[in-house]
Structure 1
Amino acid sequence: MTTGARGWSIRARAFDGRVLAGIVYPLLAIAIVFGLWEGVIRLFDVPVWLVPKPSDFLGRFATELPTLAAAAWATSVRIFFGFLLGVAVAVPLALALVSIPALERGLYPVIVFLNIMPKTVIGPILIVWFGIGPMVAVLIVFLMCFFPVLVDAMSGFRAVDPRLHYITRSMGATSFQTFRHIRLPASMPHIYSGMRIGIIKAVEGVIIAEFIASNAGLGHLIMRASSYMDMPLMFCGLIATAIVALIFNAIMTLLGRVLMPWARRV
């Protein structure tokens, strides 16, 4: 076997081991938790309207799968557009704030003030402006994920060694070439870290938004089920929300491999 083939085989086995560990161990842990949960509920005869057994809501999950899938899709679309808007605004703004100190001194306190305002307070204002619909959810997701991406992007742009700018300038590189080949790659780990935090905040934000002002989505489904004291359906909504969050987290992991190919580990 050649050296290249041997190296490929080692990497393939390592990858298979990581995939196996990433799938089998979480499923085993979930099975243990659900088994203990089922046993305790049956032992103490807890009524289903208070805490349902896993067998109650897992069976309901299968029967309500089309409804849950439609709600999860509506929620996912709002997460996608709100998160995309947050990143698209936060990264260029972070570069502008770092590059122009006067702009940072004037604008950054305003951004911090807007960030500390509770989103449950901003929600009713957005309802007055935009009505009940997906736009409010998208904007709340944007507000939830914007600040973490902004702060980490600013840290990343500041972390670049200033001497690199002098070196690239002495070699005749333009400002755009310096940004494209030096500043952006060097700051990408910080930006990506903010995006990982932001996607978690986005899932949290979209559920809050759908509680406040929505006629679709998983948050709306959970609120509707709570009004009828339908605990199994509420837990189905929670599981579907967790699945959506895991999918977006997996997408972010793959995106990190695309944005930072130099950071891949075998």
Structure 2
Amino acid sequence: MSQTASAMVPAQSGTRARLMAAFGGSYFSSVLIGTVAVLLLLGLWEAALRYFEVPVWLAPKPSDFLVRLYTDRALIAGHAFWTSLTIVEGFTLGVLVAIPLALAIVSVGALERGLYPVIVFLNIMPKTVIGPILIIWFGIGPLVAALIVFLMSFFPVLVDSMSGFRLVDRRLFYISRSMGANPWQTFWKVRLPAAMPHIFSGMKIGVVKAVEGVIIAEFIASNKGLGFMIVRASAFMDMTLMFSGLVAAAIVALMFNGAMSIIGQWLMPWSRH
């Protein structure tokens, strides 16, 4: 019995180590450190406002808007759902356009010289200026919000995808051809996996920009979503609801960023080692 028990201990510790390696022990430690930092910031915020007796209408205490986040959870969750749906639509469109376009630009020199400067020019245009133009063309609604999210998330995915496709060792193409692989097999088995770390790096940046873009879009071109809720609360000077909306938007951004990390680890198991 003692020998069996002693044999089980290393096996259990080995299983635990494999689980931590699979799910990223450093990821959980970074989440823990980030949580402690946020709690410390909120505590300092709460103490400062109580000490200086700042009125709620000027700057609410964390205890005020966190309680409001719970009491109005149905309202906030409903707006967060529409915000998340718009993010999914605009971000998915951005990824589906950016990755093939990045491959085309890298593969065809004329496209990089002629098309890429145009894309850069469109990207530097303020989205608050593009928004009213889109409203004139398409009216106020979820389509305009999704298009603004697309414009915000498209460029980071494009740039990082181009970097990933460029960094593939050209000798791998010769090796795959010598083994009888056709262009599609070479792309699917060699070029895309090699570029995926850069693509997901751009997607992580793009999904955060998507959250920023959807709030801007809902400020000017929507009748639902967290951005719309924040604007409506500001009209009534409801500071606690405004800050609750900001916290909800931050939670949505963290959820999408975490989802991108999980999807990246699932599609790129080699990146964990």
Instruction: Give the structure 1 partner of residue 4 of structure 2.
Output: none
Letter in 2 for 1:9: R
Distance, in Å, in 1 between the alignment partners of 2:39 and 2:116 is: 47
Instruction: Give the structure 1 partner of residue 245 of structure 2.
Output: 237
Distance, in Å, in 2 between the alignment partners of 1:157 and 1:217 is: 36
| Unpaired segments ≥5 residues, structure 2 | 1-6
Instruction: Give the structure 2 partner of residue 174 of structure 1.
Output: 182
Instruction: Give the structure 2 partner of residue 7 of structure 1.
Output: 14
Q: How does 1:35-54 map to 2 (within 5 A)?
A: 35-54=43-62
Instruction: Give the structure 2 partner of residue 223 of structure 1.
Output: 231
| Unpaired segments ≥5 residues, structure 1 | none
**For 1:60, which of 53, 60, 68 is the aligned residue?**
68
Distance, in Å, in 2 between the alignment partners of 1:144 and 1:56 is: 32
Distance, in Å, in 1 between the alignment partners of 2:64 and 2:264 is: 38
Distance, in Å, in 1 between the alignment partners of 2:25 and 2:195 is: 31
Q: Tell whether 2:184 aligns with 1:151.
A: no
Distance, in Å, in 1 between the alignment partners of 2:260 and 2:227 is: 22
In the TM superposition, what whole-angstrom CA distance separates every residue of 1:169-227 from its partner, at most 9, and x where no partner exists? 11111001100111001111111111111011101100010111110000001111111
Question: Normalising by structure 1, what TM-score?
Answer: 0.94
Shift of 1:34: 2.1
Distance 1:27-1:192 versus aligned 2 partners, 3 A rule: closer
Letter in 2 for 1:227: A
Q: Tell whether 2:162 aligns with 1:116.
A: no
Distance, in Å, in 2 between the alignment partners of 1:248 and 1:221 is: 20
In the TM superposition, what whole-angstrom CA distance separates every residue of 1:96-143 from its partner, at most 9, and x where no partner exists? 111111122121111111111110010001001111111111000100
Q: Equivalent pairs: percent with the same residue? A: 64
Distance, in Å, in 2 between the alignment partners of 1:170 and 1:222 is: 60
Distance, in Å, in 1 between the alignment partners of 2:97 and 2:214 is: 18
Give the 3-state SS of the residue equivalent to 2:184 in structure 1. helix
Q: How does 1:21-32 map to 2 (within 5 A)?
A: 21-32=29-40
Letter in 2 for 1:119: K
Distance 1:9-1:45 versus aligned 2 partners, 3 A rule: closer
Give the 3-state SS of the residue equivalent to 1:229 in structure 2. coil
Distance, in Å, in 2 between the alignment partners of 1:71 and 1:236 is: 12
Letter in 1 for 2:84: S
Distance, in Å, in 1 between the alignment partners of 2:24 and 2:93 is: 35
Letter in 1 for 2:18: R
Shift of 1:17: 5.7
Decide which moves more: 54-63 or 25-34: 25-34
Distance 1:198-1:23 versus aligned 2 partners, 3 A rule: closer
**For 1:261, which of 254, 259, 269 is the aligned residue?**
269
Shift of 1:29: 2.7
Root-mean-square deviation (CA), in Å? 1.8
Question: Normalising by structure 2, what TM-score?
Answer: 0.92
Give the 3-state SS of the residue equivalent to 2:93 in structure 1. helix
In the TM superposition, what whole-angstrom CA distance separates every residue of 1:46-89 from its partner, at most 9, and x where no partner exists? 11110111221122111110000001000000001111000000
Shift of 1:40: 1.4
